[in-house]
């Protein structure tokens, strides 16, 4: 009996953590093939962890509120990019440049989040696909603003930011003056591994805020809404407002996270930096063992480490195995999208099973009731 239950437990564990386990296996196979030194690998992982963790943390709150994976985080990323275009044009350098970009991104992200939240409230039950399409729609608006309004209606002074035609922003904005300003602040070196302490402290502070937030009234309301909207409504919770706030918070955090991300990169691809960020962050979170309806801080860190270790290893492994680095690139892209697809399928299957289970229970109860009446 015990043996059976422990076997079942092991199977359940494997089933629940199949994605992280698969990634651990891939990484374990790739590391000896690639032959990177542990110092190099650790340096890369720490850099990518500090670069991406904040962005991925921004996804947790909508999941808590039952709104699934917020593909609309791209909106926050766009707000951050607009803010960085301004700070670059105003020549605000270093940490003040980063802080100012964050401050400017907040109202833009909040307005975009509000818009996204309103639309998602009108599309309950289809939040993920709706937020995904909103991000495409807003990308068009972003292009209109950045490509046609900046330099003509919105003042942009510097020629190195403007397109040669006199308006619109160049496809790449140089962020050298803020590059790694945050990462270099309080940075320490342990055994050849550079640790950006200030960035990590910010990420830790964000984790603590999320833990605290879960215990607040609003956090509890979000969890209640996430579990069952109708029950939450019956309990007197303003469901629409709670969901709206969760998306606004997520979008604002995504904006702040994007500033941290871009200060690490030191260069901004104006028209494409934001387009993939949502997809990669969601993939990383899912790789960490999260699902559409459940995610934790632990999933964020495990996900970043596994997903990005694979990102570091895959091109080199592809080059070693097939002689073509592009194969490794294709592999990592295939895995990113594959993980999201599998997670969505698993979520739908689970939901249908639960529905079928409830249906069976109801049918059984009706049968029993019928027998009693007879």
Partner 1 sequence: MRKILFRVGAVLILLILAGIMMIVGRGHTIYFDNKTLEYNGESYAAIRRINVFVNGEQVAKLSKKERGMATCMGQSFSFDIEVIREKDGEPEPYHFDLSLPYGMDGIIVNLPAIMEGLPQEAWMSEFIPAPPTETEEDELPSDEFEMGGEV
* Binding region for partner 1 (CB under 8 A): 48, 52, 90-97, 99-100, 103-104, 106, 143, 147, 158-160, 163-165, 170-172, 177, 265, 271-272, 275-277, 280, 308, 311, 329-330, 333
Toward partner 1, which CB reaches closer, 211 or 265? 265
Q: Per-residue b/e over 29-52, b at no fewer than 16 CB within 10 Å?
A: ebeeebebeeeebbbbbbbbbbbb
- Smallest gap from Cβ 266 to partner 1, in A, equals 11
Going by the DSSP 8-state scheme, the letter that residue 194 receives in this structure is E
Structure tokens at 254: 């995504």
Least separation in angstroms between residue 145's CB and partner 1 is 12
Give least dist CB 36 to partner 1, A.
18
Q: Given the complex with partner 1, which of 74 and 226 has the nearer CB atom?
A: 74
Distance CA 27, CA 33 (A): 10
Closer residue to partner 1 in complex, CB, 125/164: 164
For strands 188-190 and 193-195, give the pairing: antiparallel
Dist. CA 219–CA 227, nearest whole Å: 12
Q: How far is the CB of 93 from partner 1 (least distance, A)?
A: 4
User: Least distance from C-beta 180 to partner 1, angstroms?
Assistant: 15
Alpha-carbon gap, residue 200 to 53, rounded angstroms: 9
Helix 18-34, helix 325-373: angle, nearest 10: 160
CA atoms within 13 A on the CB side of 30: 24
Q: Are 21 and 14 in contact (CB under 8 A)?
A: yes
Compute φ and ψ for 323, nearest 5 degrees: 80, 5
Q: Which residue's CB is nearer to partner 1, number 96 or number 192?
A: 96
Q: How far is the CB of 295 from partner 1 (least distance, A)?
A: 19
67 or 100: CB nearest partner 1: 100
**CA–centroid distance for 96 within its chain:** 25
The least distance separating partner 1 from the CB of residue 150, rounded to whole angstroms, comes to 13
Query: CB within 8 A of 220, min separation 6: which ones?
Result: 214
Q: How far is the CB of 94 from partner 1 (least distance, A)?
A: 6
Is the CB of 12 or the CB of 171 nearer to partner 1? 171
Cβ 294 to partner 1 shortest distance, Å: 24
Neighbours of 18 (CB within 10 A): 13
Quick one: 369 exposed, middle or buried, by C-beta within 10 A (0-12, 13-18, 19+)? exposed
Q: Looking at beta carbons only, is 134 or 277 nearer to partner 1?
A: 277
The smaller minimum CB distance to partner 1, of residues 88 and 291, is found at: 88
The smaller minimum CB distance to partner 1, of residues 301 and 311, is found at 311
Residue 67 or 290 with smaller CB distance to partner 1: 290
The Cβ-side half-sphere exposure at 144, using a 13 Å CA radius, reads 6
Specify which residues 189 forms β-bridges with. Answer: 194
Instruction: Label each residue of 255-300 as H, E or C.
Output: HHHHHHHHHHHCEEECCCCCCCHHHHHHHHHHHCCCCCCCCCHHHH
Residue 91 CB, nearest approach to partner 1 (Å): 5
């Amino acid at each position: 009996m015990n043996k059976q239950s422990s076997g079942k437990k092991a199977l359940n564990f494997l089933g629940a953590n199949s994605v992280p386990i698969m990634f651990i296996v891939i990484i374990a196979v790739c590391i000896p093939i690639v032959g990177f030194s542990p110092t190099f690998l650790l340096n890369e992982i720490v850099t990518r962890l500090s670069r991406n963790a904040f962005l991925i943390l921004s996804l947790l709150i909508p999941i808590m509120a039952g709104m699934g994976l917020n593909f609309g985080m791209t909106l926050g990323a766009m707000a951050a990019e607009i803010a960085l275009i301004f700070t670059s044009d105003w020549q605000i350098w270093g940490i003040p440049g980063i802080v100012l970009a964050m401050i400017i991104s907040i109202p833009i992200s909040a307005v975009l989040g509000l818009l996204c939240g309103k639309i998602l409230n009108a599309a309950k039950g289809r939040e993920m696909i709706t937020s995904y399409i909103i991000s495409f729609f807003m990308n068009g608006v972003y292009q209109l603003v950045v490509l046609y309004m900046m330099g003509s209606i919105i003042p942009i002074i510097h020629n190195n930011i403007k397109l040669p035609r006199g308006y619109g922003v160049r496809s790449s904005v140089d962020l050298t003056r803020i590059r790694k300003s945050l990462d270099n602040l309080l940075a320490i070196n342990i055994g050849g591994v550079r640790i950006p302490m200030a960035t990590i402290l910010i990420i830790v502070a964000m984790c603590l805020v999320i833990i605290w937030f879960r215990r607040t009234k609003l956090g509890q309301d979000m969890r209640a809404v996430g579990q069952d909207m109708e029950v939450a409504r019956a309990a007197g919770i303003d469901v629409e407002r709670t969901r709206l706030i969760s998306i606004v918070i997520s979008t604002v955090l995504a904006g702040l996270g994007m500033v941290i991300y871009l200060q690490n990169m030191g260069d901004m691809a104006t028209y494409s930096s934001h387009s993939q960020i949502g997809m990669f962050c969601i993939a990383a979170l899912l790789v960490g063992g999260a699902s559409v309806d459940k995610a934790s801080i632990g999933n964020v860190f495990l996900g970043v480490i596994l997903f990005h270790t694979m990102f570091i290893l895959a091109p080199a492994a592809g080059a070693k195995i097939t002689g073509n680095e592009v194969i490794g690139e294709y592999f990592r892209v295939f895995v990113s999208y594959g993980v999201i697809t599998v997670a969505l399928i698993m979520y739908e299957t689970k939901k249908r099973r639960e529905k079928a289970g409830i249906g069976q229970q109801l049918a059984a109860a009706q049968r029993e009731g019928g027998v009693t009446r007879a």
